[in-house]
Amino acid sequence: MHFALESKLQGGLHAFEQRLARRTLPVPVSSQTDRDNLVDFTTNDYLSLTRLPALRNKFLQKLTDAPNILGSGGSRLLVNGEAHAALEKRLAKFFNSPIALIFNSGYHANVGFFSCVPQPGDVIVYDEYVHASVHDGMKASRVEKARRIAFKTNSVDDLRRVLLGVRKMLKEKSAGMGGDTSSVFVSVEALYSMDGTIAPLTEICDTLEELFPAGNAYLIVDEAHSAGIYGPQGRGRVAQLALEHRVLVRLVTFGKALGATGAVLLTNELIRDYLIHHARSFIFTTSLSYSNIIAADASFDLLMDGTGERQSARLQENCVYLVTTMQKRLSTLGVAPKLLSIPPELCIERPGSNPPSPILPLLTSQARALSDYLRSLGIIALHVTWPAVPMGEDRVRVSLQAGHTREDIDRLVKGAVGWALQVAEKESKDSGASRSAGQRYEVAYASKL
Ligand SMILES: Cc1ncc(COP(=O)(O)O)c(C=O)c1O
């Protein structure tokens, strides 16, 4: 490589390294033995389906019975696999949607939809925390930057403020031009992947319908993290709130709670036809292999036969246990919020609050150090830093699973709180103070755990 390119690339990486924000691959978990000795709070296998013998056996049986298992032969436009079409039909029915269209991943689906469906002159309003794939789709779209507008996460008031501005702008622009033909697309996630917060979907629908009674404002809900967990048979938050007919598009991904790979967009026939014709991330790629489709099909069997709901109940019990234990320890041991805290909106006992979330951010100004410390205790929970989260909002992201035991969760809480108190003790020693938070921790744990 020429030295000029080499130094530019190295310089680029160095800048991130200095901010402790360089992305690297985590240490591989190489074998089952490694896995068994570690407690993993990173994977999005929320229902622990990948570890269930029932799913493994079902998948292997389906593979044995299937006429095709390897590859897929090309793009869907070249080879439309029977298994792919059959799964789409099954999912449309399951999710109570007119149409289902499978993409190779949630990333492909969001990029595909946002890059081509919004038309020139349209507006996209998005929650400030929507996934990178929505941003990449918007950037590739024909919607100019000034018409792509963020609102404060989960704030219906802020969404209303933004939509009122959009309505005014569209009215002014269309004055004397025979009426406005613009559409407004609103992009949200049902459950935010870095914050664990749950979107107020019903209120969002109400606001859209109130401010755009002509019906030209459309809601797109990303259920990447909520599908499988919430709603009857794990059909997601939109189904749980009976909003199927008030949402234009739902995205369900197969790679998280479903333990497979791929994604499906649930929408109407016209949008499906438009995507097939225009979405480059659908057209110009080899479709999922038959074995991927079979794996997803097997996972949906488990949602339909009630296994998913049982796993989800366990998962939600774990969520409540983690949040309540963590809250109690943090407050009784007097941990400074700067060192370690959890977002107040994830507290379980709030009246009328949302269902428990499997994602818990451990907010700390020293996320990498906490993650490294937990790893030394055999606990994997990765730190997340800018640009995946806003600057100054570093965290260790904890992803709970149905298969975690109370002991696993206790280990995590003990490890994280213990680390914070050690840091506090060191800081207070360094500043010459006499109070020993570490001693308090030892005493408190000896009596409480
Ligand atoms: C909210 C959200 N949407 C979409 C995606 C992309 O899904 P996939 O992993 O299937 O590409 C992710 C994945 O991290 C996600 O968190």
Q: What is the pLDDT along the chain (449 residues), one digit of tens a residue?
A: 999 999 999 999 999 888 878 888 887 776 555 667 799 999 999 999 999 999 999 999 999 999 999 999 999 999 999 999 999 999 999 999 999 999 999 999 999 999 999 999 999 999 999 999 999 999 999 999 999 999 999 999 999 999 999 999 998 887 766 667 999 999 999 999 999 999 999 999 999 999 999 999 999 999 999 999 999 999 999 999 999 999 999 999 999 999 999 999 999 999 999 999 999 999 999 999 999 999 999 999 999 999 999 999 999 999 999 999 999 999 888 888 889 999 888 876 655 678 999 999 999 989 999 999 999 999 999 999 888 888 888 999 999 999 999 999 999 999 999 999 999 888 888 877 544 555 554 444 444 43
Question: In sequence order, what DSSP letters do the residues of 206-254 get, joined into one string?
Answer: HHHHHH-TTS-EEEEEE-TTTTTTSSGGG--HHHHTT-GGG-SEEEEES
Domain with CATH 3.40.640.10 in the chain: 56-304
Class of CATH domain 56-304: alpha beta
Crossing angle (nearest 10°) for helices 53-65 and 290-304: 130
Ligand 1 contact via 264 beta carbon (within 6 Å) = no
C-alpha 278/C-alpha 281 separation (Å) is 9
Ligand 1 contact via 43 beta carbon (within 6 Å) = no
- Do strands 99-103 and 263-267 pair parallel, antiparallel, or not at all (unpaired)? antiparallel
As given in the structure block, the two tokens for residue 407 are: 């002991």
Number of Cα atoms under 13 Å in the Cβ half of residue 112: 29
Ligand 1 contact via 224 beta carbon (within 6 Å) = yes
Question: Measured from the CA of 253, which atom of ligand 1 is nearest?
Answer: 10
Domain with CATH 3.90.1150.10 in the chain: 26-46+309-448
Residue type, 243: L
Task: Please give the distance, rounded to the nearest whole angstrom, from the Cα atom of residue 106 to the centre of ligand 1.
Answer: 5
Pick 26-46+309-448's CATH classification: 3.40.50.740, 3.30.70.600, 3.30.70.80, 3.90.1150.10.
3.90.1150.10
| Residue of 42, 126, 131 to mutate, ligand 1, most atoms within 8 A of C-beta | 131
Ligand 1 contact via 105 beta carbon (within 6 Å) = yes
Task: Please give the distance, rounded to the nearest whole angstrom, from the Cα atom of residue 137 to the centre of ligand 1.
Answer: 13
Q: Exposed, middle or buried, 304 (CB in 10 Å: 0-12/13-18/19+)? A: middle
Residue 247: Cβ within 10 Å count: 23
Q: Would you say the C-alpha torsion 60, 65, 70, 73 has a positive or negative sign?
A: negative
- Give 445's contacts (C-beta < 8 A, 6+ positions apart): 414, 418
Task: Please give the distance, rounded to the nearest whole angstrom, from the Cα atom of residue 164 to the centre of ligand 1.
Answer: 30
- Give 203's contacts (C-beta < 8 A, 6+ positions apart): 156
C-alpha 151/C-alpha 163 separation (Å) is 9
